[in-house]
Amino acid sequence: MNFLYRRIVIAVVGVVAAAYVFSVVVVTGKDLGVSDELYATVRDDYMRPHLMQSWGLFAKGIVNSDKTIVMRAQVQTPEGNVVTTGWVDIGEYEWQGILHNPTPARTARTTYKIAGDMQIAVRKVPTVVVPAISKDLLSDRPLSSGDYLKTLLDQPQLNSTSRSSVAAFVNLDNVATRLTTLYAYRFWNQPVVAVQWSVVISPVPRFGDRDTGAREVPTTVAASGWRKAPLFDAATISAWTTS
Amino acid sequence: MSTRTEDLSSSTPPSGPTTPPSALDDRATAGPGGGPLAALRRRRQAHVPLRHRIREAGGILRFLEVWVSGERHGRYGFATIRIGLGAVLTGYLIVNLADAPRVWGPGSAWMGNLRQDNLYGWPFNLAQKAAESSIGFSLWYLATLACGIALILGWRTRILIPVLYVLFTGLISLNPVVTDNGDLTCRLLLLYLAFADASGVWSLDARRRARARPSSNPTIARYLKVLGEIGTIVHNFVLVVVVINLCLIYWTAGLLKLQEPLWREGTAVYYPLAIRLYQPWPALSQFAWGTDFGVHLVTYGSLTIQLLFPILILSRYTRWLALMAAIGLHLGIAVLMGLASFSGFMALMDAILISSTSYLWLEGKVLVAAKKVRAAVLPGGPEQQDPEQQDPEQQGAVADRAGPARKPAQDKVSVGKDGSGE
């Protein structure tokens, strides 16, 4: 290649590489002094979704609690009766898939993550909304928990921040209901009529108490009422009952 | 401005004395007198300090220009990443095979809005269509698996890597809940490999290229040569970017940890290990946090290595310390916390910091060991002679017989002091 052209290529590629490195510095330095405005611009305009990076794992807000969802269901027996099952700790069930397994499957910590997200979401929602979570939603018409909670968004005392918090919680509420419904199919392999779930957070013993195992009392951060089971197609149910 | 033309491949700067073969170009080491190990030995003997090489090149800018455009650096590191990435990815997909319909396939319909929030456009969102049916999802999954295997082999990587990127990114976008930083690292490495020479060595592509006859059409030959030179420049910049990115990962992770009281107290490592779902081996976890000293040592040790990582890699001696510590850290996370794929992907990025010299040394050892095994399995053959008895030149010749893909002459193997992984 011609001497001049080579230098031009080097300059162009160098500038692109430098711009990329600068962008990486900005998005990874969000909590290290980079301004929110610059971070948001670089993240939204240049990095998301393919080049986005974040390396705060095990650093910010280090995980220090067992988080789980406990659930029960109303299932239909072959005779047509609806029976209520006992409570099941899904976290415990998932742990059985991890125990003595060097390469656990990706499903293994699903509930842990949903419960963690739920813990954060509940903290942000206004207290006026929280009682609604525990109401039973068993109407025959297709009224989901999300629909119910969305009606709360119209309440005048909610400002825009509160509304977005409620919307985020509604999303997770739907996810929890759908996930527990599929777990109900997996556990009892019967048509599921309704589910009820609770998100339970149990801090691990403090470092100084690790020998005695003394733990704080577990906290239920969200407990739903009965939720009518959402409908799933046969392929979805089959994936949960056969795999 | 003058527009003089020169051939950088000759590695002889226009000004200054002739550069020793060990410093800027190892093409000269591929002479008929020895294999790669012998070449390495000569190179070590002829090691030229960085400051001398800069002076010989005619200044730092000229040195950087030659470094960027002269030859492709770190090809063994990229080849290791490619092979490792393919292996971890393939293992990851096989491990999740039974659960895949629930994780990403038709059974993942429970995610509802969470999935719709993903930002990937076409062609990544084709995965969502595929995941609606068992057959479509199975095809997508198996195609990803097949591409992972092809990546290990280094087959048609120029096309393969972008295709694998689409398949893998499409797959993990189906379930944002279970995705982790290992997936992110895998995607990033695939992106980097797409612009680097990932199959220059240890690949089917390299073997195919070595067997290919050069084009007889001069226009095409010149066109290919220019493309190759641009590819070299891009490859070397990607190498620099990967190393910087790696340093940023460790450094920012270290700084963020420094802001947390539990890390400053020296007890942070205990808490994730005490969580039930990160305890595949409870007895081992309890042993790991059994003593105050052990917990403090690992906590402060992790913090120190992460904060000092960018500095430690500048010297070839401390670089090994940093690499061993980082790999030990990832190994600990993999075993103690059951995060094998995450640790595997993360540790792979470190592979770029290992010099080609070390890779070639390792390759020589592997080939000698393989020869021993062959001799044991096939007694009476010409290879019965104890490889340890051979002189290094012959061992190099053994390495050369691994195939035409082994072309040490086109890879830099000796520098090690430029802070860029070589």
Burial of B402 (0-12, 13-18, 19+ CB in 10 A): middle
Question: Of A147-151, A164-168, B404-408, which range is least confident?
Answer: B404-408
pLDDT at B418 over 60: no
Tell me the average pLDDT of chain A: 87
Q: Do A76 and A196 sit in the same domain of this protein?
A: yes
Please tell me the distance from the alpha carbon of residue B282 to that of residue B291, in angstroms, as a whole number. Answer: 15
User: What total of structural domains would you count in chain A?
Assistant: 2
CA atoms of B261 and B274, how far apart (whole Å)? 18
The yes-or-no verdict on residue A118 having pLDDT over 80 is yes
**Is the same domain home to B137 and B52?**
no
Backbone phi, then psi, for A54, in 5-degree steps? Answer: -155, 130
Q: Is the same domain home to B154 and B206?
A: yes
Is A111 domain-assigned? Answer: yes
Q: How far, CA to CA in Å, does B234 sit from each of A6, A44, B84, B193, B368?
A: 12, 26, 22, 11, 35
Q: Is the pLDDT of residue B50 over 90?
A: no
Which tokens hold the place of B299? 């906590």
Residues B62, B125, single domain; the answer is no
Q: Are residues B169 and B285 in the same domain?
A: no
Looking at the structure, tell me whether residues A87 and A16 fall in a common domain. no
Distance from CA of A54 to the nearest CA of B (A): 8
- pLDDT tens-digit map of B243-253: 999 999 999 99
pLDDT tens, residue by residue, B334-361: 999 999 999 999 999 999 999 998 999 9
CA distance B25 to B53: 12
Give the residue from B189, B212, B235 where a domain finishes.
Answer: B212
pLDDT digits (tens, 9 = 90+) for A16-50: 999 999 999 999 988 888 999 999 999 999 998 89
Are A11 and A125 members of one domain? no
The answer to whether residue B359 is domain-embedded is no
Domain shared by A86 and A32, yes or no = no
B178 touches chain A (CB under 8 A): yes
pLDDT at A180: 96
Residue A52 lies in a domain: no
Amino acid at A137: L
Q: Which domain holds residue A17?
A: 3-47
Identify the pLDDT of residue B136. Answer: 95
Please check whether residue A56 lies inside any domain of the structure.
no
Whether B375 is covered by a domain: the verdict is no
How much is the pLDDT for B121? 86
A233 touches chain B (CB under 8 A): yes
Question: Which of A21, A58, A109 has the highest number of chain B CBs within 10 A, making it the mutation to test binding with B?
Answer: A58
User: What is the per-residue pLDDT for A156?
Assistant: 67
Q: How confident is the model at residue A160 (pLDDT cuts 50, 70, 90)?
A: confident
Give A 161-220 residues with CB within 8 A of chain B: 171, 174-175, 178-179, 181-182, 204-205, 207, 210
Same domain, A92 and A10: no
Whether the CB-CB separation of B95 and B199 falls below 8 Å is answered with no
Domain boundary among B353, B382, B412: B353
Residues B113-122 pLDDT 10s: 777 666 788 8
My answer on whether A130 and A219 are in the same domain is yes
- pLDDT exceeds cutoff 80 at B153: yes
pLDDT at residue B396 is higher than 50: no
**B114–A57 CB contact, under 8 Å:** no
- In the predicted structure, residue B27 carries a pLDDT above the cut 60: no
Q: Residue B407 pLDDT > 60, yes or no?
A: no
Q: Which residue has the tokens 């095994």?
A: B373
Q: Has residue B399 got a pLDDT over 50?
A: no
Backbone angles phi, psi at A59, to 5 degrees: -115, -70
Residue A112 sits in the same domain as residue A21? no
Which range in B349-358, B370-379, B386-395 is most confidently predicted, on average pLDDT?
B349-358
Q: B196 CB contacts (<8 Å, ≥6 apart)?
A: B78, B234, B235, B238, B239, B242
Residue B224 within a domain:
no
Mean pLDDT of A92-97: 93
The answer to whether residue B404 scores a pLDDT higher than 80 is no
Residue A136: CB atoms within 10 Å: 12
> Quick check: B115 and B108 in contact, CB under 8 A?
yes
- In-domain check, residue B226: no
Please indicate, yes or no, whether residues B93 and B173 belong to a single structural domain of this protein. yes
B6 touching chain A per CB within 8 A = yes
> What pLDDT score does A216 carry?
82
Q: B290: left (phi > 0), else alpha (psi -120 to 50), else beta? A: alpha
- pLDDT, residue B411, reads 43
Looking at the fold, whether A127 and A215 belong to one and the same domain comes out as yes
CA distance B183 to B177: 12
The answer, for A234 touching chain B at a CB cutoff of 8 Å, is: no
Question: In sequence order, what DSSP letters do the residues of B108-135 get, joined into one string?
Answer: GGGGTHHHHT----TTTTHHHHHTTSHH
Task: Assess whether A21 and A140 both reside in one domain.
Answer: no
Contacts of B20 (CB under 8 A, 6+ apart): B46, B48, B56
Residue B1: what pLDDT? 38
In a domain, A60, yes or no: no
* Backbone φ, ψ for residue B209 (5° rounding): -65, -35
Least confident of A146-155, A207-216, B28-37, B291-300: B28-37
Same domain, B157 and B274: no
Would the pLDDT of B381 be above 80?
no
- Classify residue B206: in a domain, yes or no: yes
A177 with A88, same domain: the answer is yes
Segments forming the whole domain that contains residue B266: 250-353
CA dihedral sign, ordered A234, A237, A240, A241: negative
What is the average pLDDT value for chain B, to the nearest integer?
82
Residues 59-118 of A with CB under 8 A from B: 59-66, 91-92, 94-95, 98-110, 112-114
A137, pLDDT greater than 60: yes
Q: What is the pLDDT of residues A43-74, one digit of tens each?
A: 999 998 899 998 887 777 788 899 999 999 99
Examine the pLDDT at B286 and tell me if it is beyond 50: yes
Do B336 and B277 reside in the same domain of the chain? yes
pLDDT at B155: 97
- Whether B128 shows a pLDDT value over 70: the answer reads yes
pLDDT of residue A139: 58
> Are B416 and B316 contained in the same domain?
no
B57 shares a domain with B135: no
Residue A53 lies in a domain: no
> What ipTM was assigned to the predicted interfaces of this complex?
0.90
Q: CB neighbours (10 Å) of residue B369?
A: 11
Task: Judge whether residue B406 has pLDDT over 80.
Answer: no
Cα separation, B62 vs B257, in Å, equals 40
Compute CA distances A174 → A180, A230, A231, whole Å.
10, 9, 12
Residue B380 is predicted with a pLDDT of 63
pLDDT category of residue B68 using cuts at 50, 70 and 90 = very high
Q: Are residues B208 and B94 in the same domain?
A: yes
Residue A168 pLDDT class (50, 70, 90 cuts): confident
Q: Which residue has the higher pLDDT, A156 or B170?
A: B170
A169-173, A182-186, B275-279, B350-354, range with the lowest pLDDT: A169-173
Whether residue B409 lies inside any domain: the answer is yes
Chosen for mutation from B190, B243, B277 (greatest number of chain A CBs closer than 10 Å) is B277
Q: Decide if A179 is inside a domain.
A: yes
Res B26 pLDDT > 50: no
pLDDT of residue A145: 52
**Helix, strand, coil: what percent of chain B each, to 5?**
70, 0, 30
Residue A162 lies in a domain: yes
Do B36 and B113 fall into the same domain? no
**Cis ω before B17 (30° cut-off from 0):** no
Domain check: are A79 and A21 in the same one?
no
In-domain check, residue B369: no
pLDDT band at A15 (very low <50, low <70, confident <90, very high): very high
Total Cβ atoms within 10 A of residue B58: 16
Query: Based on the domain organization, do A119 and A21 belong to the same domain?
Result: no
B18 pLDDT higher than 90:
no
pLDDT at A149: 66
- The number of domains in chain B is 3
* Residue B29 pLDDT level (bands cut at 50, 70, 90): very low
B53 and B131 in a common domain: no
User: pLDDT tier at B44 (50, 70, 90 boundaries)?
Assistant: low
Residue B290: helix, strand or coil by DSSP?
coil
CA triplet B325, B326, B329: central angle to 5 degrees? 85
Whether B277 and A28 lie within 8 Å, measured CB to CB: no
Q: State in Å, rounded, how far the first CA of chain B is from the last one.
A: 33
